[in-house]
Amino acid sequence: LILIMPDTSPRGEGVPDQDPKAYDFGVGAGFYLNATTDEYATHYNMLDYITQELPTMIASKLPLVPGKMGIMGHSMGGHGALTIALKNPGVYRSVSAFSPITNPMDVPWGQKAFTLYLGEDQEAWKEYDSVELVKRYQGPPLRLLVDQGTADSFLTEQLKPGTLKSACDESGIDLILRMQPGYDHSYHFISTFIQDHLLFHASFLTGVLRWCPDEDVLPAPSVHSSLEEVEPPETAGLEIECLAAVAFEPKKLLELVKVKVAPPQKGEVRIKHVSVALCHTDAYTLDGQDPEGIFPSILGHEASGIVESVGEGVTEFKPGDHVIPQDISLCTSVRAFTGKGVMKADGQPRFSYEGAPIYHFMGTSSFAEYSVLHAE
């Protein structure tokens, strides 16, 4: 992970502020919005700074992976992380916060800041209120992680995590709200639980499951990736023979046969499936209704598995990683190939049976003990 720590507010000569200065406004708290009032509109554009200026600058300086970005924050910064993610659906793969101001329109900190930054129009305030943004969120599925200390002196008057939970429950947004007994609003609270947040973000950014929110219901160790290096198996670079349920023709039962799975090529990952699920899309294709249905093929696109080996240029995954294969049939970088049941590297499938090609399904093909997927 690369951690970028932006400031809370604009800096420099001529930046307006209250007199006397206060920690909850101005150079102490920019609230990650674009101000509209005459006094503050010129300098206080922290929303644009975080979403436009800063990412552009960072991309020119650091080796970032395009499209893989998360956002997190504490207190007023937690408010910023939540609102920015909700206002920019699909931009941030992971979102978390410590002790965020969840409903600033309804608390003294937010009412003071919004009046000075945005004026008296409370409809404008709703654009920077997490609870209001949750109510009308229309983006891709989103999971939020929020930690809140029960001994926080600002809990009931300023933070109101329960209001955020109610809004998420009503809107169907997945919120993991952890009330941590005895913790206050301090940096000691953050330092205690920051590892959980980093592992949470790493899981979304890398596709490798490394963390579960409830220790009492942790899955079996087999679904967690080891942080230790794993030696490549003896099968790496070799063809593997394994069982697969093959759809040889539409409207015909699947046949359980032994197929050969070629090693991964450039930009590919070969995985061993651990568990597999059935989806109506599989039945739809087998029934011959899918216009892109190709036969013979190996169906299935919902599964979990372990990385067996990786192809040239793959650095995000390594043997031993526990992963969830993702249907990438709509991913524009490989769509032209997954729609034809082949791989991008050479336009050929990695499966074969009795010397004849067996095609991939939705870039996944989980109805086989082993499969080869695009890493991207």
Q: What is the Cα–Cα distance from 150 to 266, expressed in whole angstroms?
A: 50
185 catalytic residue (yes or no):
yes
The Cα angle at residue 373 between residues 368 and 374, in degrees rounded to 5: 170
Q: Choosing from 9, 43, 74, 75, which is the catalytic residue? A: 75
φ, ψ of residue 102 in degrees (nearest 5):
-85, -25
Q: Choosing from 43, 79, 185, 197, which is the catalytic residue? A: 185
Q: What is the Cα–Cα distance from 329 to 101, expressed in whole angstroms?
A: 39
Q: If we measure between CA atoms, which residue out of 374, 273, 227 comes closest to residue 314?
A: 374
Cβ–Cβ under 8 Å, residues 137 and 173: yes
In the chain, the amino acid numbered 121 is D
Q: Choosing from 9, 129, 130, 152, which is the catalytic residue? A: 152
Cβ–Cβ under 8 Å, residues 309 and 263: yes
Cβ–Cβ under 8 Å, residues 318 and 271: no
Cis peptide before 20 (omega within 30 of 0): yes
Cβ–Cβ under 8 Å, residues 367 and 351: no
User: Mind giving me the DSSP string for 189-206?
Assistant: HHHHHHHHHHHHHHHHHH
75 catalytic residue (yes or no):
yes
Q: What is the Cα–Cα distance from 296 to 351, expressed in whole angstroms?
A: 10
SS3 of 2-71: the string is CCCCCCCCCCCCCCCCCCCCCCCCECCECCCCECCCCCCCCCCEHHHHHHHHHHHHHHHHCCCCCCCCEE
H/E segment holding residue 297: strand 297-298
Q: If we measure between CA atoms, which residue out of 198, 153, 193, 195 comes closest to residue 177?
A: 193
Q: If we measure between CA atoms, which residue out of 111, 131, 129, 128 comes closest to residue 120?
A: 111
**Four-point Cα dihedral 325, 326, 329, 330, nearest 10:** -160
Beta bridge partners of 146: 97, 177
Residue entry with tokens 């395009």? 66
Report DSSP state, residue 53: I
Catalytic residues: 75, 152, 185
